[in-house]
């Protein structure tokens, strides 16, 4: 569950990135965040991840109140969510298996749990035969599949994806989004910021459109609605 109440964010240089945002995303929803460059999408994603804090307003995610969250509590919030980025952010000196396992090692999961979970997630994203390879040996789409497996390894309630298809060719982008759709059908809430007009228009999911820091449209089966 994600609840934003009267959220505003003004940066130190005076830029108003978000202005009075009210938003509720329920458990199990799939929501696209869309809008032109500079609309506030990246700021909204950073607020959800607690990389930034709002200038005013309140944010609750998975029963965590982000406004009162202490720094040492932020890792516990992030354990309840999976995060996928446009640039993959894999560890180059670790294999596919080790990249995914690392997310479990951070939370001190047992070796037995790691041996059970990692092969399962690699199978889920279609990379069982790539476990011993390194990121530089993979295509962009395969790297994003590894990132997706890593994001899901601790069974998060929420998956946040920031332009996850931005560096991928159209066919590969579709493969990644279909995977995210399958994950959503298993009960994970998915929030995806994107410029991928064709994907948004075809998926017929909830579309939350930002413009100049405010929500200008929120439709259950929406379309992208912007020229790109």
The domain of 67 spans: 1-80+157-228
Partnered with residue 64 across adjacent β-strands are 61
For 222, the token pair is 């929406």
Tell me how many domains the chain contains: 2
Encode the chain (228 residues) as per-residue pLDDT tens digits: 899 999 999 999 999 999 999 999 999 999 999 999 889 999 999 999 998 999 999 999 988 999 888 888 888 888 889 999 888 889 999 999 999 999 889 888 899 999 999 999 999 899 999 999 999 999 999 999 999 999 988 889 999 999 999 888 988 999 999 999 999 999 999 999 999 999 999 999 999 999 999 999 999 988 888 765
Same domain, yes or no: 117 and 171: no
Q: 126: buried, middle or exposed (CB in 10 Å: 19+, 13-18, 0-12)?
A: middle
Same domain, yes or no: 73 and 122: no
Same domain, yes or no: 37 and 61: yes
Residue 228, pLDDT score = 53
Same domain, yes or no: 104 and 217: no
Residue 73, pLDDT score = 87
Same domain, yes or no: 161 and 75: yes
For 212, the token pair is 């100049």
Q: CATH number of the domain that 13 lies in?
A: 3.40.50.300
Residue 227, pLDDT score = 65
Closest CA to 158 of 48, 75, 70, 56: 48
For 135, the token pair is 């990121």
Residue 115, pLDDT score = 94
> Are the C-beta atoms of 33 and 45 separated by less than 8 Å?
yes
Same domain, yes or no: 168 and 216: yes
Residue 182, pLDDT score = 92
Same domain, yes or no: 7 and 64: yes
Same domain, yes or no: 127 and 213: no
Same domain, yes or no: 211 and 149: no
Of 155, 185, 210, the position where a domain reaches its end is 155
Same domain, yes or no: 74 and 93: no
Residue 155, pLDDT score = 85
Task: Tell me the HSE value of 79 on the side-chain side, using a 13 A CA sphere.
Answer: 12
Same domain, yes or no: 109 and 200: no
Closest CA to 151 of 116, 124, 113, 112: 124
CA distance 128 to 148: 14
Residue 69, pLDDT score = 86
pTM: 0.91
Same domain, yes or no: 74 and 164: yes
């Amino acid at each position: 569950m994600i609840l934003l109440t009267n959220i505003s964010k003004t940066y130190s240089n005076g830029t108003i990135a978000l202005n009075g945002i009210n938003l509720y995303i329920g458990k199990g929803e799939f929501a696209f965040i869309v809008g032109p460059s500079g609309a506030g999408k990246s700021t909204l994603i950073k607020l959800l991840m607690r990389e930034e804090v709002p200038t005013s307003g309140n944010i609750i995610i998975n029963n965590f109140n982000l406004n009162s969250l202490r720094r040492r509590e932020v890792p516990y919030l992030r354990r309840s969510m999976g995060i996928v980025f446009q640039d993959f952010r894999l560890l180059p000196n670790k294999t596919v298996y080790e990249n995914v396992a690392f997310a479990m090692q951070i939370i001190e999961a047992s070796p037995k749990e790691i041996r059970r979970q990692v092969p399962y997630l690699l199978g889920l994203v279609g990379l069982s035969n790539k476990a011993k390879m390194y990121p530089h040996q993979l295509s962009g789409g395969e790297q994003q599949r590894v990132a997706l497996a890593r994001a899901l390894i601790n069974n998060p309630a929420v998956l946040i994806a920031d332009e996850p298809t931005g560096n991928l060719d159209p066919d590969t982008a579709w493969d990644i989004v279909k995977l995210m759709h399958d994950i959503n059908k298993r009960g994970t809430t998915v929030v995806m910021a994107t410029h991928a007009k064709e994907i948004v228009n075809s998926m017929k999911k909830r579309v939350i459109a930002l413009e100049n820091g405010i929500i200008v449209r929120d439709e259950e089966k929406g379309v992208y609605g912007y020229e790109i």
